Chains A and B, each alone.
Chain A
Amino acid sequence: MCARLYVNIRHLSLETYVTLSTEIVLGTVRWQLASVLPSGLVVTDYGISIQECLKGSLNDEVVLRLYGGVVDQYQTVVDRAAHLGLNSELVLFLCPGTEPSKRGILGLADGAYQVVASPTGERVVSGLHAFGVPLPVFASDIGSIVRKERK
């Protein structure tokens, strides 16, 4: 069975993303495992090893559960899904997941920022609100918003 999920999404400001996220983490995709729900939709769990929590507190690993994936003859394709390649490094804005022990990504692709090396070797962040922004700068921006929230 094949299903296609179309998601009607709203682009939000970075401030709103920070506010609505339960946690924001810098992490690396370590494993992924797809399964079929009774509804016939495929979900994929992603294990993220956490290097740094930019908001909230989590242990060394967080598991994400997102719609999409392939299991035998079942396939679910999600429009605007985040690309979570194995061993890729990302900054992820997390939200409550489909079950308590797992998280989702706020805004799907909009809430997943890729961390890559620039031509000069600097780690830079690319995503909805950051294009080639040095990782420390992006983390600092998020930190500022989090501190402002607490006040």
Chain B
Amino acid sequence: MNTHKQSSSIVQCAMFCVALVVPIVAGGLEHVRTQGHPQGCSSADYERAEYWGGGPYIPSHMNALPSPAFEVVHASSAPNPFIPGFPSPNLCGAPSLPAGITNAAAAFNSASLSGLDAFIPLNRQFTFAPAPMRAFGQDDINILTFHEGPLIFGGAGGQATLAVTSAYLDFNAYVPEPTRIYEADIAFNASSITGYSFVDADPLIPANYNFSLQAPVLGFADLQGVLMHEMGHVLGLGHSVIDGQSAANNSHFPTMFPVAQVLPFPAQVGITRDQFCQAQTYQLDGAATLDGGILGISARTLERDDLSAIGELWQPPNYLMYYGAIEGTVREWVPTWGMNLPINGVVVVAVKADNPAEAIRVQTLTYSYPHNASCDQFANPVLGRYQIRGLTPGSYYVYVQSVDQDSRGTTCNPGGVGPPCYAGYYSKPSDPPNWVDRLQLGQGSMLTNTAGPFPLPTPYPTEYYSGLGESSLEGSQFFATHAQAGVAITVDAGTTTSGIDFVLEYNSTTAPTLDMLTVQTGTAGGPGYASPRGLAIYPHLGSQVSVGFTVRGLKANQQCTLLSGTARTLTLIDGQLREVANALSTTSADATGTAVFQLMLPYGNLENTFYQVGYRYNGKNMFTNVVNVWSSTQ
């Protein structure tokens, strides 16, 4: 690896760019058709969408919505007789807005986003103000609307959709990327009778503002968290493609994760408004809904992945001096070619090594172009290239997220025709549906390689960078499936560490994997939420919970030990880094390489406990993935 100083984000182009295939310009700019006309590169400011997996879309023009002002309207069909011009009875409190809206604006408008990073002041000031009803669509006015009925959502997912943001984009003539968002509209799906009901403020405080007069079927959603996600789109962020494997209590999912996370939500009394704008008490009971909880609260907090994306898009002065970057390429073995070929569309993640408990993770996708690509780089793409930027100085592990084997059907096609391919979280059909956070990559960021369309020869498990000598034939128990076997990379401020190149393990069996499979309580109320990532326990289930752990992929009769800990910190033990330290019990795998641990856990000890299985292989300590148990009281 090597490092070099980052260059300015402004590039001067002198060569030809690729032709723009989307002949669209609007919003007061000159209308230019560029299809089929290779243009000389003379534009100075554009960027590639490397950080946010929704496709090659990131506007970079610094004048985009400098102060995004939103009119908050409610598109209910029911007129409000008390506030002329306001069609909805649910904003009776106008002009004061629900706290969730003002809180979300405050979070983005603060001088230092979330207080996490003093060097990322957001120079965008969101404002929200009540207004008469306006239409959802391009009219040079940004709106935030609570929409009932299928007029908007009938074409955008129906009741399964929480909210939608429509961003209207400019292009310029010279680069194949949008350059500016000139308008954005946000619509919340307020069809709460059959869908979701948005609640305001902290759900643990019985003073909620509810936008529905009836109990929702699916579940409750947090107004502030969902709005912060949508505001990220307004700023130009796509969806994060980072995994959530270390997300105890879901607290470390990026705000821009594409699927809202659910947390159990105990019954409480909230406040709503009737048709006469009178406050009424209202029973809020997440457990009574199909989702069993409230969605989106974790999105209230911007994670490092969000912050790095925002910082890259809206770079404050001297930003590049304070942050570092990691770059490299990802390759895979293609049998028909007999060689390793670069692959685009896989997810690469950097995780802070010195404080993994904080789950500082930043992701990107492999593309053919670097961030802030010059026209020369556009003309000479490097397939499989990735760059992870906006990293605070320190030590990082870097890994390629697993590629979903189940997406490798015969028709999965990266070219945009046919079913999409998937990458990211290694989901399985057996996962509980509400926890299948499979990542569907948008067109343009789908998996592809130079050997043609899918299927590729094999799915790939998560693989950590393990230093020079990466190959496609490292063997299932030698390549680094976990951080402990990886090589930490030092990132310095203002520099880019290059040469972090991956060769994905070919035709491997997945390394031993720990799953939490069974939960038995013997009391009413259900088992809580179980998933490969972990388990959330309802507080009212009783004093003890029986939990089963299963490890697959060991060697026959191999001894292994279940470990636990209450904090996920890397510790050096026996010369190996361990994420979880306390040994609970040891057993042997059966003839198929499967081992089972059954524990009876007292409820009081459940909060944020981490479990992992360790085993020895060729004289080395090896470890499975970590699963988490947390209490729903968190």
Contact = CB atoms under 8 A, between A and B. Distances in A.
Given A6-B239, A9-B259, A12-B433, A119 B410 contact: yes
Given A96-B154, A98-B151, A10 B26 contact: no
Contact of B260 (A10, A41, A65): A10
Interface string B469-480: 000000000000
Contacts, number: 213
B616 interface: no
A37 B155 CA distance: 12
B82 to A, nearest CB: 29
A114 B347 CA distance: 25
Contacts of A131: 406, 409, 429
Given A12-B218, A85-B418, A95-B159, A40 B137 contact: yes
Contacts of B420: 83, 109
Contacts of A142: none
A104 B137 contact: no
B138 A104 contact: no
A114 B432 CA distance: 21
Interface residues of A, number: 61
Nearest to B443: A77
A6 B167 contact: yes
Contacts of B158: 20, 95-96, 104-107, 111
A17 B170 CA distance: 37
Interface in A72-109: 73-75, 77-80, 83, 85, 88, 95-99, 102-109
* Chain B interface main SS type: loop
B420 to A, nearest CB: 6
B510 interface: no
A5 to B, nearest CB: 5
A137 interface: no
Contacts of B137: 37-41
A3 interface: yes
A97 B25 CA distance: 29
Contacts of B154: 65, 95-99, 102-104
A125 to B, nearest CB: 10
A147 B147 CA distance: 32
Interface string B40-84: 000000000000001101000000000000000000000000000
Nearest to A98: B154
Nearest to A118: B410
B166 A3 contact: yes
Contacts of A75: 22, 24
A52 to B, nearest CB: 20
B23 interface: yes
A126 B433 contact: no
Interface string B129-173: 000000111110000000000111111111111111111111100
A114 B24 contact: no
Interface stretch (B354-362, B434-442, B565-573): B434-442
B160 A41 contact: no
B419 interface: yes
A83 B410 contact: no
Which secondary structure dominates chain A's binding surface? mixed
Contacts of A106: 157-160
A41 B24 CA distance: 13
Interface in B82-115: none
A6 B152 CA distance: 13
Contact of B433 (A1, A14, A95, A99): A14
A80 B55 CA distance: 11
Interface in A1-35: 1-14, 16-17, 20
A58 interface: no
Given A66-B155, A116-B411, A8 B26 contact: no
A99 B155 CA distance: 9
Contacts of B458: none
Given A12-B434, A114-B418, A3 B159 contact: no
B151 A79 contact: no
B223 interface: no
Nearest to B233: A6
Contacts of B238: 6, 79
Given A2-B168, A8-B161, A114-B411, A20 B194 contact: yes
Nearest to A43: B155
Given A2-B24, A98-B150, A114-B418, A9 B411 contact: no
A13 B162 CA distance: 16
Contacts of A111: 157-158, 160
Contacts of B290: 12-13, 16
Interface string B243-286: 00000000000000011101000000000000000000000000
Given A11-B434, A41-B166, A83-B418, A108 B411 contact: no
A67 B166 CA distance: 11
B164 A13 contact: no
B31 interface: yes
Interface in A36-53: 37-41, 43
A131 B291 CA distance: 23
A149 to B, nearest CB: 13
B160 A8 contact: no
Nearest to B413: A83
A20 B159 contact: yes
Contact of A83 (B27, B157, B229, B419): B419
A130 interface: yes
B295 interface: yes
B166 to A, nearest CB: 5
B55 A77 contact: yes
Given A1-B138, A107-B157, 16 more contacts: A1-B168, A2-B26, A3-B167, A4-B57, A4-B166, A5-B164, A5-B167, A6-B54, A8-B164, A11-B436, A11-B438, A13-B432, A78-B156, A110-B160, A129-B433, A131-B406
9 contacts: A4-B169, A8-B260, A12-B433, A38-B137, A73-B23, A83-B419, A95-B157, A103-B154, A111-B157
Among all A-B residue pairs, the 10 with the closest Cβ atoms: A39-B137, A95-B158, A40-B138, A107-B160, A13-B433, A1-B26, A2-B24, A104-B154, A96-B150, A97-B154
